[in-house]
Amino acid sequence: MQSLRVALGERTYPIHVGAEILGDASLYEPHLRGRRAAIVTNAVVAPLYLGRLRSVLSAIDASVLEITVEDGERAKRWETLDAIVGAMLKARCDRSTVVLALGGGVIGDLAGFAAAVYQRGVSFIQIPTTLLAQVDSSVGGKTGINHALGKNMIGAFHQPLAVIADVGALGTLPNRELRAGLAEVIKHALVLDTTLFAWLEAHIEALLGRDPQALTHAVMRSCELKAQVVAADEREAGRRAILNFGHTFGHAIEAGVGYGTWLHGEAVAAGMVMAAELSARAGALDPAVVARLRTLLARAGLPVEGPALAPERYLELMAIDKKAAAGRIRFVTLEAIGHAVLRDDLDAATVRATIGGCSSATAAPR
């Protein structure tokens, strides 16, 4: 097991990464001994890991409330949040209760937001069981639910007490979700670290083969990189926005084809190609880097072009995105591997041409 600390002053917390650590009582004990735990999980994850978590909690004398919600992005809505709050109120959970988010990114976002707003805020622990959640949502404190008019439009910044990322849990992850998680690892390397990017080029097969050591390194290094950025800009006022590389296009893809058709990581993969291509067309990036990115994503089994929607539709979808400042679309562009910058001076024609050149996929990823 390896550990790192996300440095956020009084909100500093540890991330533990390793194989089969979900059942390690010593990781829960400092936060939970004698307290009430409310586990939020879903119908897919519960049969796999809930029993093990329940045992370890009862071993440290925590009383346990279990709340199981439906699987999938659709759970990130008000009705589910209301049901979680209702279950906690019925069980008379007070402000000393700790919420445990056991599952992927949806569960982390939803349970984290429930913790952020339950009686104006209780503590929570992330136990991410997907690669995407381990490398992305476990660092940064973003929580929230969707609105009919946009994803993650209702939420809060709420930091966990701890993150327990068990790479052993990735053994049960469908291939497609593993690949989608790798998209975020590749993103962290692309915008922040040439060494990790080269390591990924050398170890992509080991990762796809779920080698625990390779996964531990990828998750650990990815979290470290993201943690440095988040520590410098907790509320996403500036630099943190570079982590959204590929996301402006990615969100447009997800919304344009209907949420759930493309996985978030798949949309980010194609979105990264588009953002890199935009950087190259703007003269900021060597086209050889775009080619290297395409090759790595393709080896990881990820899409390298967006769905065949009209460029105008892409632009329309991007304008309502919450990263749009004062009506302009702000893009994260790349100048080299490990070096991303924020720009809002790109002309619409270049953006439109980039979309036209990178959006011919007629089938959804499988």
Write out the residues near its own copies by the rule CB under 8 A.
78, 81-82, 85-86, 89-90, 92, 94-96, 116-121, 142, 144, 147-150, 152-157, 235-236, 319-320, 322, 324-327
Q: Is 352 a catalytic residue?
A: no
Of 146, 244, 277, 330, the active-site residue reads 244
3-class secondary structure, 42? strand
Of 74, 147, 210, 240, the active-site residue reads 240
Q: Is 299 a catalytic residue?
A: no
Q: Which helix (H) or strand (E) holds 304?
A: none
Cβ at position 325, least distance to its own copies in Å? 6
Strands 98-103 and 123-128: parallel
- Asked if 124 and 161 count as a contact pair (C-beta separation under 8 A), the reply is yes
- Asked if 264 and 250 count as a contact pair (C-beta separation under 8 A), the reply is yes
Cβ at position 50, least distance to its own copies in Å? 25
Q: Please compute, for residue 31, the number of CA atoms within 13 A of its CA located in the half-sphere on the CB side.
A: 22
Q: Is 175 a catalytic residue?
A: no
Of 226, 281, 294, 330, the active-site residue reads 226
* Residue with Cβ nearer its own copies (51 or 121): 121
Neighbours of 193 (CB within 10 A): 19
Q: Is 42 a catalytic residue?
A: no
Cβ at position 256, least distance to its own copies in Å? 17
* Residue with Cβ nearer its own copies (123 or 279): 123
Cβ at position 86, least distance to its own copies in Å? 6
Of 184, 224, 254, 277, the active-site residue reads 184
Q: Is 236 a catalytic residue?
A: yes
Q: Is 313 a catalytic residue?
A: no
φ, ψ of residue 30 in degrees (nearest 5): -60, -25
Q: Is 247 a catalytic residue?
A: yes
Cβ at position 318, least distance to its own copies in Å? 12
* Residue with Cβ nearer its own copies (141 or 250): 141
Axis crossing angle, helix 212-232 with helix 194-208, rounded to the nearest 10: 140
Cβ at position 336, least distance to its own copies in Å? 29
* Residue with Cβ nearer its own copies (293 or 318): 318
* Residue with Cβ nearer its own copies (210 or 239): 239
Q: Is 277 a catalytic residue?
A: no
Q: Is 142 a catalytic residue?
A: yes
3-class secondary structure, 260? coil
3-class secondary structure, 366? coil
Separation of alpha carbons 223 and 214, rounded Å: 14
* Residue with Cβ nearer its own copies (112 or 301): 112
Separation of alpha carbons 212 and 217, rounded Å: 9
Of 142, 151, 187, 188, the active-site residue reads 142
Tell me the two tokens of residue 359. Answer: 């959006």
* Residue with Cβ nearer its own copies (254 or 277): 254
Separation of alpha carbons 305 and 358, rounded Å: 5
Of 236, 254, 266, 277, the active-site residue reads 236
Cβ at position 5, least distance to its own copies in Å? 22
Q: Is 35 a catalytic residue?
A: no
CB-based contacts of 64-67 (< 8 A; 24+ apart in sequence): 64/36, 64/37, 64/38, 64/39, 65/36, 65/37, 65/38, 65/39, 65/91, 65/93, 66/39, 66/41, 67/38, 67/39, 67/40, 67/41
**Residues with catalytic annotation?**
120, 142, 184, 226, 236, 240, 244, 247, 251, 264
